[in-house]
Copies of this chain bind each other. A is one copy, B any other.
Amino acid sequence: MDILEKCMISLEEVKKNKPLVHNITNYVTVNDCANIILAIGGSPIMADEIQEVEEMVSIASSLVINMGTLNERTVSSMLKAGKKANELKKPVIFDPVGVGAGPYRNRIAEKLLQEIQFTVIRGNMSEIKSLSGLAVRTKGVDSIADESGGVEAAMGFAARVNCVAAVTGKTDIITDGKKVCLIDNGHPILTGVTGTGCMTTALVGTYCGAVNDYLVAASAGVMTMGLAGELAQKTLSKEEGIGTFRIRLFDAIYNLTTETIRKEGKIRVE
Residues of chain A whose beta carbon lies under 8 Å from any beta carbon of chain B: 20, 26-32, 34-35, 38-39, 43-49, 51-52, 55-56, 58-59, 68-73, 98, 101-105, 139-142, 192-195, 235, 239-244, 246-255
Q: Are B34 and A31 in contact (CB under 8 A)?
A: no
Find chain B residues with CB under 8 A from A52 CB.
Answer: 102, 104-105
Q: How many copies does the complex hold?
A: 3
Find chain B residues with CB under 8 A from A34 CB.
Answer: 28, 194-195
Q: Are B246 and A243 in contact (CB under 8 A)?
A: yes
Assess A49 versus B72: contact at CB under 8 Å? Given A101-B56, A139-B20, A243-B248: yes
Assess A38 versus B243: contact at CB under 8 Å? Given A51-B72, A101-B59: no
**Chain B nearest CB, measured from A265 CB (Å):** 19
Find chain B residues with CB under 8 A from A235 CB.
Answer: 239
Complex CA distance for A141 and B254, rounded to whole angstroms: 20
Assess A140 versus B20: contact at CB under 8 Å? Given A31-B29, A69-B46: yes
Q: Are B139 and A59 in contact (CB under 8 A)?
A: yes
Q: Are B251 and A194 in contact (CB under 8 A)?
A: no
Find chain B residues with CB under 8 A from A20 CB.
Answer: 139-140
Sample (21) of A-B pairs whose CB atoms are under 8 Å apart? A29-B31, A31-B31, A31-B195, A35-B194, A43-B140, A46-B69, A49-B70, A51-B104, A52-B102, A55-B103, A55-B104, A58-B102, A71-B73, A235-B239, A241-B251, A241-B254, A242-B250, A243-B251, A243-B254, A244-B248, A244-B251
Complex CA distance for A251 and B30, rounded to whole angstroms: 22
Assess A26 versus B46: contact at CB under 8 Å? Given A31-B31, A101-B59: yes
**Chain B nearest CB, measured from A94 CB (Å):** 18
Q: Are B45 and A140 in contact (CB under 8 A)?
A: yes
**Chain B nearest CB, measured from A166 CB (Å):** 22
